[in-house]
Amino acid sequence: MASSMSTENPQLSINLVCFNEKDLLRNALRYIKKAQISIPYEVVVLDNSSQDQDEVMDMVSVEYPEAIRLAEKTNTGFTQAVNTCARHSKGTYLFNMNPDVVVLPGQLEQMVAFLKERPNVGMMGPKLLNFDGTVQGSAFQFTTPQIALYRRTPLGRSAFAKRRIQEFLLQDGWDWNSERKVDWVLGAAVMYRRSVAEELGHLDENLFLYFSDTDFAWRLWENGYMVVYYPEAMLYHYYQKSSGGTLSLSSLFNFAFRKHLQDGVTFFRKHLGDPNPRLQKMAALK
């Protein structure tokens, strides 16, 4: 089957943001090409001030010459970069994927078909697989300051804290093979309609690197849209625990860790005290 790469009237925009991930990006682009996507689509690549930015741009021009190539001279933050990709793309559906995600044949078409059939779904995430075939948790409850504290400090060692963390991670007997309405899905690979993003004002750029997927899902639920985990579509993801770990003095000097804390404070200030919008909507539907 021939690929349906289109820069005129794409149904789907595949948006990738790269920051010092040239090799992963190359791999991602090659698998997009191998997937032979059958609907009209385009690829948008933004390099967010990588140390080897010129090499990244040269590589993209060789691997995927049809791609729209964008380059930022300073690191604008992941969230702003995603929004920049959206502004430079034309697709009815936006698929944001990290460079460490591998696209499989037929899966993106299936995700688009799902959204076409379900206009009340604002955003959906596929099943993500580790490369040994095991399922990678990619749907979650909305986090709270309490959960953040449990995950970052020795307080998380108590039986009660461990149980709450399991609930947050949906590890308490959750069926990862069943379609479910969820609080939020991991932003490493998500699809949503352009019209919905424009209605909500896209991602909140006050969040530099983290929590933008969580915040976007929160606002979707607040505005009457659903967020769905959709395991019929499957992709591979090279999971890297870049922002995990316990709070320590040395971790405060780690850029990603500090941004995680800062974005967490911004998110909690924005939503602390507000009721869970998914639970409110689901209660209203009963």
**pLDDT tens sequence across 194-207:** 999 999 999 999 99
CB 96 within 8 A of CB 78: no
* Alpha-carbon gap, residue 279 to 286, rounded angstroms: 11
Phi-psi region of 101 (alpha: psi -120 to 50; beta: other; left: phi over 0): beta
Cα distance between residue 84 and residue 74, in whole Å = 14
pLDDT at 286: 65
This prediction has a pTM of 0.93
Q: What is the pLDDT of residue 244?
A: 44
Model pLDDT for residues 212-241, shown as the tens digit of each residue: 999 999 999 999 999 999 999 999 999 764
Residue 240's pLDDT is: 65
Which residues in the chain land under pLDDT 50? Answer: 241-249, 251
Residue 253 confidence (pLDDT) = 57
Residue 257 pLDDT: 83
- Give all domains of the chain, ordered by start, each with its CATH number: 12-285 (3.90.550.10)
Q: In terms of DSSP H, where are the helices of 35-144? A: 53-63, 78-87, 107-117
Quote the pLDDT of residue 214.
98
